[in-house]
């Protein structure tokens, strides 16, 4: 692949492992070409009508309006707080209220002095990258985040192609989302945005075509909006429930899906610990990201007796050497309506420390479960852990990888470590097709079996130990020499994908 200005793009960097593994297996050149770039790159725009807002004045501006009489707004839910300090102004604010406005400024006791800002139409950039579908329908998450790009989604979509092959589920790879900071929009605006995304993209989606799921900034609620928009008015709408996964269990979601990614991370850690003779009860864990993946992994590890000594997220880090009270932290982040950014910052059960100090904590296991490219070469030099279990997608840079390998810190690569989410998404899709409902125990037993088997094959490839046992056959995948685990994972993915092309052939 050609690099511009001598600097590799994020996608090009992410594809380095692909190139290495493709060389090692002497991949068919045409198949390689098919996989080097996505099948489709959809970039489109969605518009919504935003509501009026109350935007806080600076203290200097507010001083000029000191004599504006305080207003009292009676309807409790009329002002919806946003993370940037503004409030969405719902029309019901007028009901039974006593309001004074001066030149568009309002004074609300205990909240502040605000300017009323008119809402109106807004346009957002949206993406869906469909990387490959040779093994099954495109599959991958929807991300709502301010820092997304074509380059990022291309890398994440390709990762899904590898991940679904490694997890042995009959799906391909895709990823997409919207460039937005969702914390600065109301629930209703997010609903409209999600509906509009599907309205625009509907012709390219479907339970046998492209199946979205939650990712950073999205959740089961948003999946419900998307399913509704896709199925509403369709004659056989119940057949289409599998068009999105990660839904609430009451509307066709799977038991165990909410925690599946975190659960999968823990199954992989358990396997690593079993092999090393390492005991998880009492183990010291540090975790980055406390959203869906991070908080689920933390809850499961905590219940197993591990100590979560520090958690870092985008707004801060909390630390307690004896171990944080995880249920209390989950409550602080996810169940406290005043915590608008859903952050660990401000948690009273721990001490605030800097991100720099977070990386230096003496621990056994690091679980990155936030965004990509966090473990750079520099960070990897500072880590004092035995294992990095990648809950996030792409958390380690190439430099980071080289340093970790040099320092003999083990890595469980993202494509197997966080594959629990997409694996249970497949179980959800199967239940939807069959109109069945499986128990959480059923789901978790299947998940544990699938992840542990494929992680074992990856380790066989890495150590060049081809073998057939009761639960796995790694002989077709070993390449006659030892490789690092990330390359080993890619070899497993590519061999499985290549088989489809070679056995099915190409329609010219
Ligand atoms: P989420 O939106 O629920 O949580 C994201 C977390 O990351 C938040 O705690 C946020 O504060 C933190 N974060 C964001 N930017 C950060 C920064 N610069 N520094 C530190 N922390 C930061 O997202 P999620 O669904 O838990 O996904 C987390 C990661 O796991 C992502 O990389 C995602 O692609 C990956 N993943 C998610 C799933 C899934 O099922 N949700 C499946 C596989 C992989």
Identify which of 263, 289, 341 to mutate to test ligand 1's pocket (most ligand atoms within 8 A of the CB).
289
- Cβ atoms of 494 and 22 within 8 Å: the answer is yes
In percent, the amount of the chain with pLDDT more than 90 equals 93
175 is catalytic: yes
CA 301 to CA 281: how far, in whole Å?
9
CA 133 to CA 136: how far, in whole Å?
5
Ligand 1, atom 32, residue with closest C-alpha: 392
- Cβ atoms of 254 and 424 within 8 Å: the answer is yes
- Cα(217) to centroid of ligand 1, in Å? 8
User: Residue 5: is its pLDDT beyond 90?
Assistant: no
Ligand 1, atom 43, residue with closest C-alpha: 418
Pocket of ligand 1 (CB under 6 A): 214-217, 261, 288-294, 312-314, 343, 369-371, 391-393, 418, 421
- Mean pLDDT (the chain) is 96
- Cα(195) to centroid of ligand 1, in Å? 23
H or E stretch covering 41: strand 40-50
For tokens 């309006």, name the residue: 65
- Cβ atoms of 359 and 381 within 8 Å: the answer is no
- Cα(289) to centroid of ligand 1, in Å? 6
**127-180, pLDDT tens digit by residue?**
999 999 999 999 999 999 999 999 999 999 999 999 999 999 999 999 999 999
- Cα(398) to centroid of ligand 1, in Å? 20
For tokens 């409550």, name the residue: 331
User: Residue 508: is its pLDDT beyond 80?
Assistant: no
Q: Residue 480, class by beta-carbon neighbours within 10 Å (0-12 exposed, 13-18 middle, 19+ buried)?
A: exposed
**201-257, pLDDT tens digit by residue?**
999 999 999 999 999 999 999 999 999 999 999 999 999 999 999 999 999 999 999
**179-201, pLDDT tens digit by residue?**
999 999 999 999 999 999 999 99
- Cβ atoms of 415 and 489 within 8 Å: the answer is yes
Identify which of 313, 389, 417 to mutate to test ligand 1's pocket (most ligand atoms within 8 A of the CB).
313
Exactly one of 154, 163, 175, 386 is catalytic; name it: 175
Ligand 1, atom 18, residue with closest C-alpha: 314
Q: Around Cβ 35, how many Cβ atoms within 10 Å?
A: 25
**35-92, pLDDT tens digit by residue?**
999 999 999 999 999 999 999 999 999 999 989 999 998 887 899 999 999 999 998 8
H or E stretch covering 177: strand 173-179
- Cα(368) to centroid of ligand 1, in Å? 9
**464-485, pLDDT tens digit by residue?**
999 999 999 999 999 999 999 9
Confidence of residue 4 (pLDDT cuts 50, 70, 90): low
Identify which of 261, 345, 395, 415 to mutate to test ligand 1's pocket (most ligand atoms within 8 A of the CB).
261
In sequence order, the β-bridge partners of residue 115 are 55, 105
- Cα(288) to centroid of ligand 1, in Å? 9
User: Residue 1: is its pLDDT beyond 50?
Assistant: no
Ligand 1, atom 36, residue with closest C-alpha: 392
Ligand 1, atom 4, residue with closest C-alpha: 291
In sequence order, the β-bridge partners of residue 98 are 72
Q: Which atom of ligand 1 is nearest to the CA of 290?
A: 9
Spell out the long-range contacts of 448-453 with Cβ–Cβ below 8 A and sequence spacing 24 or more. Answer: 448/267, 450/167, 450/168, 450/423, 451/167, 451/264, 451/267, 451/268, 451/416, 451/419, 451/420, 451/423, 452/267, 452/271
């Amino acid at each position: 692949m050609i690099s511009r200005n001598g600097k590799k793009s994020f996608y090009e960097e992410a594809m380095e492992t692909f190139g290495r593994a493709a060389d090692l297996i002497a991949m068919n050149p045409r198949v390689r070409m098919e996989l080097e770039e996505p099948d489709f790159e959809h970039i489109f725009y969605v518009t919504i009508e935003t509501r009026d807002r109350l935007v806080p004045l600076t203290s200097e501006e507010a001083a000029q309006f000191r004599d504006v009489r305080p207003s009292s707004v009676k309807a409790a839910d009329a002002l919806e707080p946003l993370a940037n300090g503004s409030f969405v102004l719902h029309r019901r604010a007028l009901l039974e209220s006593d309001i004074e406005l001066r030149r568009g400024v309002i004074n609300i006791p205990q909240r502040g002095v605000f300017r009323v800002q008119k809402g109106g139409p807004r346009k957002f950039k949206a993406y869906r990258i469909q990387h490959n579908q040779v093994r099954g329908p495109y599959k991958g998450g929807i991300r709502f985040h301010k820092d997304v790009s074509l380059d990022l989604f291309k890398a994440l979509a390709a990762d899904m192609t590898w991940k679904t092959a490694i997890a042995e589920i009959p799906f391909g790879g895709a990823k997409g989302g919207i460039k937005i900071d969702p914390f600065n929009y109301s629930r209703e605006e997010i609903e409209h945005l999600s509906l509009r995304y599907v309205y625009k993209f509907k012709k390219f989606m479907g339970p046998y075509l492209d199946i979205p799921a939650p990712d950073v900034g999205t959740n089961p609620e948003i999946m419900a909006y998307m399913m509704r928009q896709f199925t509403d008015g369709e004659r056989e709408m119940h057949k289409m429930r599998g068009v999105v996964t990660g839904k609430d269990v009451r509307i066709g979601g799977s038991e165990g899906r909410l925690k599946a990614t975190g659960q999968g991370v823990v199954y992989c850690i358990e396997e690593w610990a079993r092999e090393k003779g390492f005991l998880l009860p009492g183990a010291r864990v540090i975790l980055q990201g406390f959203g869906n993946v991070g908080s689920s992994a933390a809850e499961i590890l905590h219940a197993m007796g591990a100590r979560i000594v520090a958690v870092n997220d985008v707004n801060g880090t909390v630390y307690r050497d004896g171990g944080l009270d995880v249920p209390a932290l989950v409550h602080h982040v996810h169940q406290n309506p005043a915590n608008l950014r859903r952050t660990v910052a401000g948690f009273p059960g721990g001490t605030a420390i800097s991100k720099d100090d977070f990386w230096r904590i003496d621990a056994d296991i690091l679980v990155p479960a936030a965004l990509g490219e966090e473990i750079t070469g520099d960070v990897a030099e500072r880590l004092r852990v035995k294992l990095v279990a990648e809950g996030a997608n792409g958390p380690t840079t190439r430099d980071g990888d080289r340093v970790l390998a040099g320092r003999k810190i083990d890595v469980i690569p993202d494509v197997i470590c966080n594959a629990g989410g997409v694996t249970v998404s497949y179980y959800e899709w199967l239940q939807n097709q069959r109109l069945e409902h499986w128990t959480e125990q059923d789901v978790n037993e299947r998940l544990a079996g699938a992840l542990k088997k494929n992680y074992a094959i990856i380790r066989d490839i890495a150590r060049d130990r081809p073998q057939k046992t009761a639960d796995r056959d790694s002989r077709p995948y070993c390449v006659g020499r030892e490789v690092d685990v990330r390359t080993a994972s890619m070899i497993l993915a590519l061999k499985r994908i290549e088989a489809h092309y070679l056995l099915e052939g190409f329609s010219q």
